[in-house]
Chain A
Amino acid sequence: MSNTDSPSGFDTNSYQLPQQDWVCGHLADGSPCSIGPSTKGSCLAENICHPQFDGKKWHCTRPNAWGGQCHDGPIPDAACPEEKAICPHQPAACQPARSLRNRRRIVTGLVFAASLGICLLILGGSSGSSSSTLFQTTKIISPGPLSSPHSVIQEGCKACHPSSHLTPVSMVSEAWDFHHKKHQSELCLNCHQDFGEHAMNAHSANPEQLTTLRKQSTGKTHLTSDQIWVRALIGDQISNAEELNCATCHQEHQGANFDLTHLTNKQCQSCHENTFHSFSEGHPEFETVRVRIRFDHSSHFEQHYKNYPFLMPGGIPKQNCNECHQLSSDGATFQLAGFEAMCASCHESQILDFQMPTALRLDQFEFLKSSETSDSSTVKSLELPPFMELMLRADEKIAVAIDTLQESVVSGDELQSKNIALIAEATRSLLIELKQQGAEVVEQRLNRFTEGPKVAKLVESLVEALDRSQFFELLSASHFGENLKSEGSDDSVKDREFTLSSWTMLNDQSSVEYRPQQHADPLIKAWLDLMANQASASYEEVESPHHNRFDDFFRAAVSPEAAGRCTKCHTVDRLLDGSLRINWGILPADQFQRQFSEFVHRPHLTLMQDRSAPEASQAVEEEVCLKCHQPEEPKPFFNRSAFVLSDGMPHTDFHHANSTGYLPIQKRDCVQCHQPKMAGDNCLQCHNYHVHENSVLRR
Chain B
Amino acid sequence: MRALTRRRTINVCLTLLVAFVLIGAAWIVKNTLVETHFLTGWFFFVTIIFLAAYNLRKAFPFLPLGTSAQWLQVHIYAGLLSFVLFLIHIDYELPNGFLESFLASVYLVVFGSGLVGLYMSRTFPKRLTDLGEEVIFEQIPVVRNNIQTDVEDAILECTEEIHNSEIPMFYRNEIYPFIMRRPDRWSHFVYGYSRYWRPLQKKLSDAKRLFDEEELNALAKVEIRLSRKHQLDTQETLQFALKVWLFIHIPATYSLLTFTALHVVLVQVWSGGAL
Contacts and interface: CB of A to CB of B under 8 A. Distances in A.
Contact of B33 (A27, A166, A267): A267
Interface in A266-298: 266-267, 270-271
A183 B64 CA distance: 48
B98 A139 contact: yes
A247 B32 contact: no
Given A119-B261, A141-B97, A266-B32, A5 B139 contact: yes
Contacts of A271: 33
Given A31-B142, A234-B35, A143 B95 contact: yes
Interface in B97-144: 97-100, 133, 135-139, 141-144
Contacts of B137: 18, 100
A108 B146 CA distance: 34
Given A112-B258, A119-B262, A143 B274 contact: no
B40 to A, nearest CB: 13
B251 A112 contact: yes
Contacts of A115: 254-255, 258-259
A266 B32 CA distance: 6
Nearest to B38: A235
A255 interface: yes
B255 A112 contact: yes
Interface in A418-457: none
A659 interface: no
A177 to B, nearest CB: 9
Nearest to B31: A266
Nearest to A178: B273
User: Which applies to chain B's interface (DSSP): helix, strand, loop or mixed?
Assistant: helix
A143 B258 contact: no
Contacts of A160: 272
A5 B146 contact: yes
B59 to A, nearest CB: 10
A251 B33 CA distance: 11
Contacts of B269: 163, 166, 171, 174-175, 180
B95 A30 contact: no
Contacts of B244: 100
B270 A112 contact: no
Interface of A: 1-2, 4-7, 13, 16-18, 23, 27-32, 99-100, 103-104, 107-108, 110-112, 114-116, 118-119, 122-123, 126, 139-145, 160-161, 163, 166, 171-172, 174-176, 178, 180-182, 184-185, 230, 233-235, 237-238, 244-249, 251, 253-255, 264, 266-267, 270-271
A182 B273 contact: yes
A247 B96 contact: no
Given A30-B148, A119-B259, A161-B272, 10 more contacts: A1-B133, A29-B141, A30-B145, A104-B246, A104-B247, A111-B255, A123-B266, A175-B269, A244-B273, A270-B34
B274 A142 contact: no
B243 interface: yes
Contacts of A119: 258-259, 261-262
B243 A245 contact: no
B220 interface: no
B73 interface: no
A270 B135 contact: no
Given A123-B265, A234-B34, A32 B97 contact: no
A267 B31 contact: yes
Interface string B173-194: 0000000000000000000000
Given A115-B255, A123-B265, A230 B272 contact: no
B142 A247 contact: no
A31 to B, nearest CB: 6
B264 interface: yes
Nearest to A107: B251
B55 to A, nearest CB: 9
Nearest to B264: A175
Interface residues of B, number: 51
A247 B273 contact: yes
Nearest to A183: B272
Nearest to A111: B251
A247 B274 contact: yes
16 contacts: A1-B133, A30-B141, A107-B247, A110-B251, A112-B258, A141-B99, A172-B265, A175-B265, A175-B269, A245-B275, A248-B274, A255-B96, A264-B31, A266-B32, A270-B32, A271-B33
B228 to A, nearest CB: 10
B252 interface: yes
B34 A230 contact: yes
B98 A140 contact: yes
B270 to A, nearest CB: 5
B39 interface: yes
Contacts of B261: 119
A144 B267 CA distance: 13
Contacts of A32: 141-142
A635 B20 CA distance: 61
Nearest to B142: A30
Nearest to A18: B138
Contacts of B145: 29-31
Nearest to A230: B32
A126 B262 CA distance: 11
A270 B31 contact: yes
Interface in B55-108: 95-100
Contacts of B264: 175
B218 interface: no
A108 B265 contact: no
Interface string B135-161: 111110111111010000000000000
B250 interface: yes
Nearest to A110: B251
Nearest to B228: A5
B268 interface: yes
B224 interface: no
A17 B136 CA distance: 9
A163 B270 contact: yes
A160 B33 CA distance: 21
Given A32-B142, A264-B31, A266-B31, A143 B100 contact: yes
Given A107-B251, A116-B258, A5 B142 contact: yes
Contact of A249 (B33, B148, B255): B33
A546 to B, nearest CB: 48
A104 B59 CA distance: 14
Nearest to A12: B139
